Amino acid sequence: MSLETEGYVRKTLIPPAPPPRRLGGPLAWVRTNLFPDLANGLVTLAILASLAWLVPEALRFLVLDAVWTGTSGEACRPEVVGHPVGACWAFIGEKINYLAYGSYPAAERWRPNLFFALLGLGAAWMLWLDAPKRAWGAAYLFLVFPVLAYALLAGMPALGLASVATGLWGGLLVTVVVSMVGIVASLPLGILLALGRRSDWPVVRYACIGFIEFWRGVPLITVLFMANVMLPLFLPGDLTVDRLVRPLVGIALFASAYMAEVVRGGLQAIPPGQMRAALALGLTPLQATRAVVLPQALKIVVPGIVNTLIGLFKDTTLVSIVGIADFIRVLEAARADPRWSAPAVPVTAYAFAALFYFAVCFSMARYAGFIERRLAAGDAR
């Protein structure tokens, strides 16, 4: 085909080139993501080599050579069973009730079970983004559930529930209670502190700054010791505070200070024009903050909020230092049982604790990733 042109313009068309070959399938994914260049390929090979050594060893210890049944440590001794022994899961099975409830009376353990069920209901109601009446779910989780939880666990004789001293609580029950109190209290308190730190009222602003900087400048272990040991010394002789409530208050205040700084970072990332535009539409400053600025700020800092909550959940193990029988403390007490004296028992106990904390923290992280993708999809639309 000819072109009716003169001079330097080409008079014939160049034959069209074939389209570039597009690789697909698993091999293409491996080439693109694992071996895009020499450096990435070497790192991939090093990681694969590490996994090739670690995974079989972990599988052998946790599953293949594990002991699943038994009534004492004799079942987990290599010299007794006559072959190498991995994890002593029989120990976990024997102690599972103690690990879950501590010394909570056996006849009343239906109450912690109901507590876990009500907590699961509230969490599912709040975390399911398309759940109906999520505002009611928030009211239930933040207002109704704490009252029900206290009545169930501590007891309420007027309702026929015998009192159970907090000194008998332990294990997973205490870990969940401490972490939930910290999470439920730290988020709203942190938001209020972050807003207060940006307030135009100097008294409110400096009070919030002082609170945040004080609690961020003190180690959590010091807070727990002060709450558990020093606080009773400053109270009147006829006034006492439950020994579990003391660290709960300390953890809630400590976590709220860190949460406030996370939320403040999100508030500072919102352009001032958002507030001015909302005010120009006739909204009051409070309405503009609640409906326009704060939702955008919280959306930005979802990773920071979840990171703080994960750290708080893991930090609950520190309450064992002040005598609270949390999950780690009862695990230590259980493995000290002379009936279960075997080399594999301590390793199994810590492996079980690691798997438990990993499962909870990984679930929180994955849900946060889901929320981020959901919000990003909303932006794309």
For 186-222, the pLDDT digits (tens) are 888 999 999 999 888 899 999 999 999 999 998 988 8
- In this prediction, residue 342 carries a pLDDT of 83
Residue ranges in the chain whose pLDDT is less than 70: 1-11, 20-24, 80-83, 237-238, 377-381
pTM: 0.80
Q: What contacts 271, CB < 8 A, 6 or more positions away?
A: none
pLDDT at 2: 46
277's CB contacts (< 8 A; 6+ apart) are 292
C-alpha to C-alpha distance for 58 and 50, rounded to whole angstroms: 12
What length is written for the chain? 381
Residue 83: half-sphere exposure toward Cβ, Cα within 13 Å: 7
Burial of 205 (0-12, 13-18, 19+ CB in 10 A): middle
> CA–CA separation, 317 vs 331, rounded Å?
11
CATH 1.10.3720.10 correct for 108-327+360-380:
yes
Q: Given this model, what pLDDT does residue 3 score?
A: 47
Both tokens of 56, joined, read: 């079989």
Backbone angles phi, psi at 351, to 5 degrees: -65, -40
CA gap 263, 253 in Å, rounded: 15
Alpha helix stretches (DSSP H) within 269-343: 272-280, 285-288, 294-300, 302-315, 327-335
State the distance between the two ends of the chain, measured CA to CA, in whole angstroms: 46
Its sign, for the CA torsion 114, 119, 121, 124, is: negative
Q: Report the distance separating Cα 120 and Cα 99, nearest Å.
A: 19
SS3 call for 326: strand
**How many Å apart are CA 77 and CA 80, to the nearest integer?**
5
Q: Are 196 and 204 in contact (CB under 8 A)?
A: yes
CA angle 349, 355, 356 (to 5 degrees): 90
Tokens coding 369: 């990733």
- Quick one: angle between helices 302-315 and 344-380, nearest 10? 160
Please state, as a whole number, how many other Cβ atoms lie within 10 Å of the Cβ of residue 38.
Answer: 8
* In the chain, where the domains are located: 108-327+360-380
Using alpha carbons only, how large is the chain's radius of gyration in Å? Answer: 29
